């Protein structure tokens, strides 16, 4: 069974600084998808960024980028120029064809002004 | 474009009572999901529908949980009888056609259930 591990229950960052959230996963598949989802307090979860395993290039969405290390089964999220609105719970997630989306336990990010 | 709608937002019941949650997905989204998110944990899939058919309900506690999507649009999740450990946020999500296995889900705001 696939597992997703987020080893940082909580992280904090100063506004305008950069923070990296860690995620590791376990799979025997060669083709799969990885995601970071953001869940603000009392608001719906939204997709932040998506990475397809067959693509070597790391995905980037504005201030959000990933460091995808396929051999190490590592998928970290870097948030640059952190803003107060980035404060949320961040979930790493994995899926492959025919399987359900599996989430990690989440990392609570606090942004300090 | 309207998002995924869920109701009620909050519900408090006593154990052994029943409760029902409703979800209306984004128009045109064929795939609908119900997730259970216990405080401090990541969401866990309870059931996945493709139109009005069940794709995956392997993690649904069928002795007390049921879900239906009769017309392939909105869906209802029912718990009867509720247990203390059912206290959680129940998230509904949907995905556009052709993306059911690519993980790009659109979530509602969730229904928070407290069982006393």
What integer pLDDT is reported at residue B38 of this predicted model? 95
When pLDDT is averaged across residues B8-27 and rounded to a whole number, the result is 96
Helix, coil or strand: residue A38:
strand
pLDDT of B71: 85
Q: Is B92 on the interface with A (CB under 8 A)?
A: no
Distance CA(A43)–CA(A45), nearest Å, equals 7
Domains by residue range for chain A, with CATH: 3-112 (2.60.40.10)
In DSSP notation, A46-94 reads EEEEEEETT--SPPEETTEEEEEETTTTEEEEEE-S--GGG-EEEEEEE
Using the Cα atoms of residue B37, residue B42, residue A53 and residue A110 in order, give the sign of their dihedral.
positive
> How does pLDDT run across B99-111, given as a tens digit for each residue?
766 678 999 999 9
Residue B61 pLDDT > 90, yes or no? yes
Q: Nearest Cβ partner of A33 from B41, B44, B103?
A: B103
Domain boundary assignment for chain B: 5-115
B104 and A46: CB-CB below 8 Å?
no
Interchain proximity B42–A106, CB inside 8 Å: yes
**Span A3-62, pLDDT tens digits:** 999 999 999 999 999 999 999 999 988 889 999 999 998 788 999 999 999 988 999 999
Bond prior to B8 in cis (omega within 30° of 0): yes
If you write DSSP's letter for every residue of B28-85 in order, what string do you get? Answer: T--EEEEEEE-TTS--EEEEEEETTEEEE-TTS-TTTEEEE-TTSS-EEEEESS--GG
Who among A33, A44, A101 is closest to B108 (CB)?
A44
Q: Fold for domain B5-115?
A: Immunoglobulin-like (2.60.40)
- Predicted confidence at residue B70, as pLDDT, reads 81
Distance, CA of A94 to CA of A27 (rounded, Å): 9
Nearest-CA neighbor of A47 among A60, A37, A62? A37
């Amino acid at each position: 069974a696939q597992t997703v591990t987020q080893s940082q229950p909580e992280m904090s960052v100063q506004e305008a600084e950069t923070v990296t959230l860690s995620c590791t996963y376990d799979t025997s598949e060669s083709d799969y998808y990885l995601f970071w989802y953001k869940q603000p307090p009392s608001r719906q979860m939204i997709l932040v960024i998506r990475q397809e395993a067959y693509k070597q290039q790391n995905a980037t969405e504005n201030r959000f980028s990933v460091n995808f290390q396929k051999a190490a089964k590592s998928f970290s999220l870097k948030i640059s120029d952190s803003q107060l609105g980035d404060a949320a719970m961040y979930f790493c997630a994995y899926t492959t064809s025919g399987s359900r989306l599996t989430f990690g336990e989440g990392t609570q990010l606090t942004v300090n002004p | 474009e309207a998002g995924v709608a869920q109701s009620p937002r909050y519900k408090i019941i006593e154990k052994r009572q029943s409760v029902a949650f409703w979800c209306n997905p984004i128009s045109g989204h064929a795939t609908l999901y119900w997730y259970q998110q216990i405080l401090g944990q990541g969401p866990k899939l309870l059931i996945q529908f493709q139109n009005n058919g069940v794709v995956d309900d392997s993690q649904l506690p069928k002795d007390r949980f049921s879900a239906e999507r009769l017309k392939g649009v909105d869906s209802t999740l029912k718990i009867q009888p509720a247990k203390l450990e059912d206290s959680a946020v129940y998230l509904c999500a949907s995905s556009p056609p052709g993306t059911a296995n690519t993980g790009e889900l659109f979530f509602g705001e969730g229904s928070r259930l407290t069982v006393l």
